């Protein structure tokens, strides 16, 4: 290649320029570095994302927002608050009381992991963390039920309060199961949907049972 | 017979899952013309017919002549390997559960329902459901039994869940392991026609525990008689499934060992049921008859004499 022998870069002229070729128009996120923004903006953006997901759980509309941008902050907050509220269940001896904080925490996270593994083994197309995200966020109605139960128990612990608690926990259990099924059912093969939905039903049933049988000291 | 074979080929779109009745039967390709399977079928049927027919069922013996399956070829460290254990559809799981609850006399559960496609979905989730059912029912039953007493304070008894989980999962996995090891060891001494893989044994045990789920719910009724009738009834159903599965695997062996094996299987199964009933469910209160007062007779005698 005789022509290339003439090409040389002079040492004194600096070479600079852009390597990237601009494609289309820039969206505001790409050339806005998030390192320079105020901390309040960073936190508010994450909080808004979590809040939007809570709203989606309360009105499950088959939107894919929960699945697309998964995060585990919401499940963590819900799990910790539920475990704290279940703390201090009555016990004559230490062995017969309600679940302790660690037990609730482990049941929720381990149960969610097992259900996710189950749905993936059955051939589901959802990713691991998306499924954990959905299952965790759908614990929210049950956390609300726990709050209501504690308030009702402050007023008294008789038969009437038990019936109120039963109705509230039952309704929230149904809501949780339906919400998570609405999000997760589409990613399963059609002839195995019931096999995937049943463990979710069992999971929320166990959590509802823990909430319903909570008796304060 | 050609019509039967065509019907069977149409029915099973993955005939790859059917197990050959004889381990050394030649495999038959679906692409071959129908006459060849018919000839081989009639030749191979004769030696095995009398022995296995009463437990395979006469309509199964045709189906089990077709292709042996190509399963579980992925290495064990990949995710796909474990997916092969969950390769079941909803209707298959429901069929297997139905087969464990209504045992048909003369039909082997493994041959009829599992057919070399053992799954881990059924055993795992049936055990999980059973654990929570026993814990919840036990708690509810104790609550109703002690309800009227003034000194009774309700406790959720959450510790019992972990005890139930350990017991039931240990039973559902360790007993099949021991049984499988024992059958493998006997196989080296005596040539058995029928042998099961470890997963098939786990499958049978898992599905046979299903009958205890409605039994545990009905154990809430605080009557001793009702509870024991339920124990005997469920033991008969699930025990018969186990016996019909494992009898052909040991009957070629020494008579006493075969009977001892089947008796041990039934004994462990009974022990599980009775143990769960005794530990998780408090004894219901007995209704004592009113004590007879002897003074009443004395006063009537006195009044009559007047």
ipTM of the prediction: 0.77
What gap in Å lies between CA B54 and CA B105, rounded to an integer?
9
Size of interface A-B (CB pairs under 8 A): 70
Confidence check: pLDDT of A66 > 70: no
Nearest to B82 among A96, A121, A206 (CB): A121
Q: Which residues contact B200 (CB under 8 A, 6 or more apart)?
A: B110, B114, B116, B118
**Is any Cβ of chain A less than 8 angstroms from the Cβ of B133?**
no
Q: What pLDDT score does B70 carry?
A: 46
Query: Looking at residues A165-194, what average pLDDT do you find?
Result: 88
Q: Is B85 on the interface with A (CB under 8 A)?
A: yes
Residues whose CB is less than 8 angstroms from the CB of residue A186 and which lie 6 or more positions away in sequence, other chains included: A62
Which among A53, A56, A96, A97 is positioned nearest to A75, based on CA atoms? A53
User: B156 and A97 in contact by Cβ < 8 A?
Assistant: yes
A214 at B interface, C-beta within 8 A: yes
* Consecutive H or E run containing A101: helix A101-121
Residue A34: inside a domain, yes or no?
no
Domain count, chain A: 1
Q: Which residue has the higher pLDDT, B7 or A80?
A: A80
**What pLDDT, on a 0 to 100 scale, did the predictor assign at position A99?**
76
Q: Is residue A121 part of a domain?
A: yes
Residue A90 sits at the chain B interface (C-beta within 8 Å): yes
Which residues in chain A have their CB less than 8 angstroms from residue B132's CB?
Answer: 202, 205-206, 209
Say if the Cβ atoms of B155 and A195 lie within 8 Å. Answer: no
Average pLDDT, stretch A121-148?
89
Task: Provide the pLDDT for residue A93.
Answer: 54
CB contacts, 8 Å: B97 with chain A? none
pLDDT at B305 over 60: no
pLDDT tens sequence across B25-75: 444 444 444 443 344 444 444 444 444 444 444 444 444 434 444 455 778
Pick the more confident residue, B46 or B130: B130
Give the model's pLDDT for residue B9: 58
- Determine, yes or no, domain membership for A150: yes
Question: Does residue A195 contact residue B90 with C-beta atoms inside 8 Å?
Answer: yes
Q: Does A91 touch chain B (CB under 8 A)?
A: yes
Chain B residue closest to A92 (CA)? B155
- A25 vs B: CB within 8 A: no
**Residue B145 CB neighbour total at 10 angstroms:** 17
Q: What phi and psi, each to the nearest 5 degrees, are found at residue B158?
A: -75, -25
Lowest-pLDDT range, A93-107, B224-238, B247-261? A93-107
Q: What confidence score (pLDDT) does residue B53 get? A: 41
CB contact under 8 A, A213 and B139: yes
d(CA B21, CA B68): 10
- pLDDT higher than threshold 60 for residue A84: yes
- % residues pLDDT > 70 (chain B): 68
A191 with B88: Cβ contact below 8 A? no
Q: Measuring CA to CA, which residue among B139, B116, B105, B110 is closest to residue B67?
A: B116
Residue A71 near residue A49, CB atoms below 8 Å: yes
The answer to whether residue A51 is domain-embedded is: no
What pLDDT does residue A206 have?
Answer: 92
Task: Give per-residue pLDDT as tens, B242-293.
Answer: 888 888 888 777 888 888 889 999 999 999 999 999 888 887 775 545 455 5
Residue A188: predicted pLDDT = 83
Closest CA to B2 of B47, B51, B31, B36: B36
Task: For residue A111, name the pLDDT band (cuts at 50, 70, 90).
Answer: very high
Cβ neighbours around A145 below 10 Å, total:
25
- pLDDT-based confidence at residue B170 (cuts at 50, 70, 90): very high
In a domain, A103, yes or no: yes
| A127 interfacial to chain B (CB closer than 8 Å) | no
| Whether A153 contacts chain B with CB within 8 A | no
Which of B121, B153, B156 is closest, CB to CB, to A98? B156
Residue carrying structure tokens 């128009």? A25
Domain with A127 in it: 67-87+99-213
Summarize pLDDT for B213-227 with one digit per residue, the tens.
999 999 998 888 999
Classify residue A118: in a domain, yes or no: yes
Alpha-carbon span A84 to A79, nearest angstrom: 9
Of B158, B161, B164, which to mutate for an interface test with A (greatest number of A Cβ within 10 Å)? B158
Residue spans of the domains in chain B: they are 78-282
| Mean pLDDT rounded to a whole number for chain B | 74
pLDDT of B146 above 70:
yes
Let me know: does A203 contact A115? Beta carbons within 8 Å.
yes
Q: Which of residues B153 and B129 earns the better pLDDT score? A: B129
């Amino acid at each position: 290649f005789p022509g290339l022998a003439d090409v040389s870069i002079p040492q004194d002229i600096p070479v600079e320029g852009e390597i990237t070729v601009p494609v289309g128009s820039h969206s505001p996120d790409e050339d806005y570095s998030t390192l320079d923004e105020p901390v309040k903006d960073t936190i508010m953006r994450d909080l808004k994302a979590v809040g939007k997901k809570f709203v989606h759980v309360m009105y499950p509309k088959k939107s894919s927002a929960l699945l697309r941008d998964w995060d585990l902050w919401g499940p963590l907050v819900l799990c910790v608050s539920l475990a704290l509220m279940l703390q201090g269940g009555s016990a004559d001896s230490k062995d017969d009381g309600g679940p302790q904080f660690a037990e609730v925490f482990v049941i929720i996270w381990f149960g969610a992991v097992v259900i996710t593994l189950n749905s993936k083994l059955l051939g589901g197309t959802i990713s691991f963390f998306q499924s954990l995200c959905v299952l965790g966020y759908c614990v929210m109605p049950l956390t609300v039920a726990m709050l209501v139960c504690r308030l009702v128990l402050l007023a008294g612990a008789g038969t009437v309060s038990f019936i109120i608690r039963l109705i509230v926990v039952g309704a929230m259990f149904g809501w949780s199961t339906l919400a998570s099924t609405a999000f997760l059912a589409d990613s399963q093969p059609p002839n195995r949907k019931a096999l995937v939905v049943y463990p979710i039903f069992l999971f929320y049933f166990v959590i509802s049972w823990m909430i319903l049988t909570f008796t304060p000291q | 017979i050609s019509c039967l074979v065509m019907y069977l080929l149409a029915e099973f779109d993955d005939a790859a899952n059917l197990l050959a009745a004889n381990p050394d039967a030649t495999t038959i390709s679906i692409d071959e013309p129908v006459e060849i399977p018919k000839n081989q079928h009639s030749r191979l049927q004769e030696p095995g017919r009398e022995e296995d027919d009463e437990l395979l069922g006469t309509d199964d013996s045709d189906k089990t002549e077709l292709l042996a399956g190509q399963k579980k070829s992925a290495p064990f460290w990949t995710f796909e390997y474990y997916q092969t254990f969950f390769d079941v559809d909803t209707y298959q799981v429901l069929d297997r559960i139905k087969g464990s609850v209504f045992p048909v006399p003369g039909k082997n559960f493994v041959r009829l329902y599992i057919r070399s496609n053992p799954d881990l979905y059924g055993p795992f989730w049936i055990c999980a459901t059973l654990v929570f059912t026993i814990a919840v029912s036990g708690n509810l039953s104790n609550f109703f039994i002690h309800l009227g007493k003034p000194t009774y304070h309700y406790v959720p008894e959450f510790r019992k869940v972990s005890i139930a989980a350990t017991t039931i999962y240990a039973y559902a996995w360790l007993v099949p392991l021991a049984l499988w090891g024992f059958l493998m060891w006997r196989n080296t001494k005596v040539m058995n026609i029928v042998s099961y893989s470890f997963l098939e044994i786990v499958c049978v045990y898992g599905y046979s525990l299903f009958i205890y789920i409605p039994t545990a719910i009905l154990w809430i009724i605080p009557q001793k008689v009702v509870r024991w009738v339920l124990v005997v009834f469920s033991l008969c159903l699930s025990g018969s499934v186990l016996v019909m599965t494992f009898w052909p695997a040991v009957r070629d062996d020494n008579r006493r060992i075969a009977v001892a094996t089947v008796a041990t299987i039934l004994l462990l199964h009974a022990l599980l049921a009775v143990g769960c009933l005794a530990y998780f469910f408090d004894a219901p209160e007995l209704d004592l008859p009113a004590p007879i007062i002897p003074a009443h007779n004395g006063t009537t005698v006195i009044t009559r004499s007047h």
